[in-house]
Structure 1
Amino acid sequence: MNLKKSLVLITLLAFSTYSIAQITKTEKDSIYIQQVEAHKEPYKVLHAEPLYVDLIRDLGARKGEKEWNIGLGLTDNLKFDAYEALIEYEWAPIDRLGLEVELPFTFYSPVEDTEKDSIPSNQLNSIKIAAQWSFFVNEPMATSMALGYINEFELSDFRNFGKPFIKGNVYNPFLVVAKRWGNNFHSLIYTGPMIEQDFSTNKFHTTYDINTSFHYMITGTRNFIGVEFNKTFDNGDFDMTMRPQMRLGIADNLLVGIVVGIPVSRENERFSSFVRLIWEPKHKAK
C-alpha cells in the first residue's frame, strides 16, 4: 500500500513539475514581447528588424525612442575589396514617426594584379536623411505597416571632392509590411523604387528593390537568427543576395548584429560580411 501511494505521489509530482516547466517556458516566450508592448501607449507590436537593409525606426515607434548604429562591412569583388563603414542616428520625435540621418563611407583596396588607378576612389558616398510613418499597428493581428522616404544626396569621391560637392540625388519611397507569427517567428517585406538623378546630365535611372526577411527570436531574449533576401530589378537585370544573420544582446541597451552576404545572381560581387553595433539610449516611456 505504501508503495502504491509512493508511486502515485511520484507521478503527481512529475506531472506538476512538467506543467510548471511548460508554464515557465510559455512565460519566457512572451517576456520580451511584454516588455515592448505592455503597459505603454500607444500600443506597439514587436517585430524583428533586418540588419543589413534596416528600418528607419521600429515599426510603431514611440516618442522619445532613439538609437545609434555603427556598421562595418567587407565585400569581395573580382578586381578589388570594398570596405563599408556607416554611422547613423535615428529617433522618434512623435509617436509613430521615425527620422534618421546616415553617413555611409566606402574604401577600396585592389586585389593582386590590379592597378590602384583602375579601382574606384574612396568616398563619403552620400548624406542620407529619411522618415518613416507607421500608419497601421494591429496587436491582435501582430501586424504593422509603414510608409517611408529616403533622400540621398550623392557626393563626389575623395579624388574629385567638391568638383562638384553634390553630384546627384536618389529618391527612395518605400513600403514596409511586417507580421509576427506566434511569439517567435517574424516576417517582413521592405520594397520600393530607387530613382537616381545625375545632376551633370540631368538623367534619371530607376531600379526596384524587394527585400524580404524571416527571423526566429530566441525565447525570452532580444537575440534572433534569420535571413534577408535583397533583390534588385534593373531594366530586365535581376540581382539577389542572401544574407544569413544573427543578433545578440550584450547589454540591456547594446546589441551586435552579424551578417554574411552570399550573392545568388551577381556578376561582379562575391562573398561579403557586415557587422552592426546598435546602442539604444534609455528614454522615458509613457
Structure 2
Amino acid sequence: MNIKNILMPILLLASYTSTIAQIDDAKKDSLYIQEVEDYQEPGKVLHAEPLYIDLIRDLGARKGEKEWNVGLGLTDNLSFDSYEMLVEYEWAPVDRLGLEVELPFTFYSPLNGTAKDSIPSNKLNSLKAAVQWSFFVNERIATSMAVGYINEFELSDFRSFGNPFISGNIYNPFFIVAKRWGNNIHSLIYTGPMIERNFQTNKTHSTYDINTSFHYMISGTRNFIGVEFNKTLDNDDFDMTIRPQMRLGIAENLLIGIVAGIPVSRENERVSSFIRLIWEP
C-alpha cells in the first residue's frame, strides 16, 4: 500500500481542523471585542491594562463603570522585606472620564538580624486621588490616548503619626497611548514626571517615569499574559524593573492579576511579587 495514499487524508484532516480552530478563535476574539466596542456608545477600544502601574480607569471609559482593587505585594530589599497593601476604588462619572481614590500601605520586616530601629517604619504612605481623561479613541486604528493627574498627600510614618499628619505632596501628571495590533496583541506607554515636595525640609525632588507594557490576550477571554518595563530616570541614575504578569478571570466580574518583579539596575532591591484582585460590581 502506498504510504502517500494513507498520509494524504490525515494531513488534509489536520489542515482542515487547524483552519477551523483558527476561524473559531477569530470568531471568539471578534465577538469579545464587539461586546466591548460595538454595542455601546460612545466608542471604545479594548486594551489590556497593565497590572502593576495600572490605569485610573479603562481608556475610553463609559459612564457608570466602576471597579474595586485590592493589591498585595512583597519586595526583598536586602536588609529587610517590605510588604505592600493597597485598596482603591475607580469609577467613571461621565463618559471618558475616570476618577480614583487609593490608600497604599507599606509594612517592613528586618532580615538577617537587622535592627528594627534601622529600617523604615510601617506607614499609610499617602492619601491618593487621581483623574484621567481619554481625549482620543479611534476604533478603526484600535488606538486610544489619555492624559491624567495623580495627587498624593504623603503621611508621616506610624512612629510619628500626626507629627506632622501630612509630610509632603507628590504631583504626577501623566500621558498614556495604547494600541491593539490585530485581535490579541496589546501595547501601551504610560509616562510622566513625579515631583515630590517635602513640607518639613521645603525641598523638591523630581524623577521621570517611562512605563511600557506588552500583552497577549487569550482568544475569547479577558485572560492575558504580558510584561511591564517600569523605568525611572533620576538625574544621572536609571532604574528599571521587568514585571512579567498574567491575569485570569475567576468569575464573571472578578479577576486576579499575578506579577513578578525583576530589577535590572537597582542597587538595594531584589525580586518582588504582587497580586491584584479586581472586582467589577
TM-score, normalised relative to structure 1: 0.92
Distance 2:116 2:14 in 1: 70
Amino acid at match of 1:49: E
Distance 1:264 1:11 in 2: 47
Number of aligned residues: 273
Amino acid at match of 1:48: A
Indicate the residue corresponding to 2:234 in structure 1: 234
Q: CA RMSD in A?
A: 1.7
Q: How does 1:122-137 map to 2 (within 5 A)?
A: 122-137=122-137
Q: How does 1:62-77 map to 2 (within 5 A)?
A: 62-77=62-77
Distance 1:41 1:99 in 2: 20
TM-score, normalised relative to structure 2: 0.94
1:223 and 2:223 correspond: yes
Deviation at 1:29, TM superposition (A): 2.2
Distance 1:105 1:264 in 2: 25
Indicate the residue corresponding to 1:203 in structure 2: 203
Indicate the residue corresponding to 2:112 in structure 1: 112
Amino acid at match of 1:207: T
1:166-191 CA-partner distances (Å, limit 9, x unpaired): 00000000000000000000000000
Could you list the runs of 5+ residues in structure 2 that have no partner in the other structure? 1-8
Shift in CA distance, 230/10, structure 1 to aligned 2, threshold 3 Å: closer
Q: How does 1:118-157 map to 2 (within 5 A)?
A: 118-157=118-157
Shift in CA distance, 133/13, structure 1 to aligned 2, threshold 3 Å: same
Amino acid at match of 1:224: F
Indicate the residue corresponding to 1:168 in structure 2: 168
Indicate the residue corresponding to 2:256 in structure 1: 256
Shift in CA distance, 201/23, structure 1 to aligned 2, threshold 3 Å: same
Deviation at 1:24, TM superposition (A): 1.7
Deviation at 1:21, TM superposition (A): 3.9
Shift in CA distance, 181/73, structure 1 to aligned 2, threshold 3 Å: same
Amino acid at match of 1:61: A
Distance 2:21 2:51 in 1: 33
Distance 2:242 2:25 in 1: 32
Indicate the residue corresponding to 1:53 in structure 2: 53
1:134-165 CA-partner distances (Å, limit 9, x unpaired): 00000011000000000000000000000000
Q: How does 1:169-184 map to 2 (within 5 A)?
A: 169-184=169-184
| Secondary structure, counterpart of 1:31 in structure 2 | helix
1:88-134 CA-partner distances (Å, limit 9, x unpaired): 00000000000000000000000012001100000000010000000
Distance 1:14 1:184 in 2: 24
Indicate the residue corresponding to 2:272 in structure 1: 272
Deviation at 1:35, TM superposition (A): 1.4
Distance 1:162 1:176 in 2: 36
Indicate the residue corresponding to 1:3 in structure 2: none
Distance 1:30 1:70 in 2: 31
Deviation at 1:26, TM superposition (A): 1.4
Deviates more, 1:26-35 or 1:179-188: 26-35
Distance 1:256 1:22 in 2: 27
Distance 1:239 1:258 in 2: 22
Could you list the runs of 5+ residues in structure 1 that have no partner in the other structure? 1-8, 282-286
Shift in CA distance, 262/22, structure 1 to aligned 2, threshold 3 Å: closer
Deviation at 1:17, TM superposition (A): 6.0
Percent sequence identity is: 80
| Secondary structure, counterpart of 2:127 in structure 1 | strand
| Secondary structure, counterpart of 2:176 in structure 1 | strand
Indicate the residue corresponding to 2:5 in structure 1: none
Distance 1:28 1:176 in 2: 28
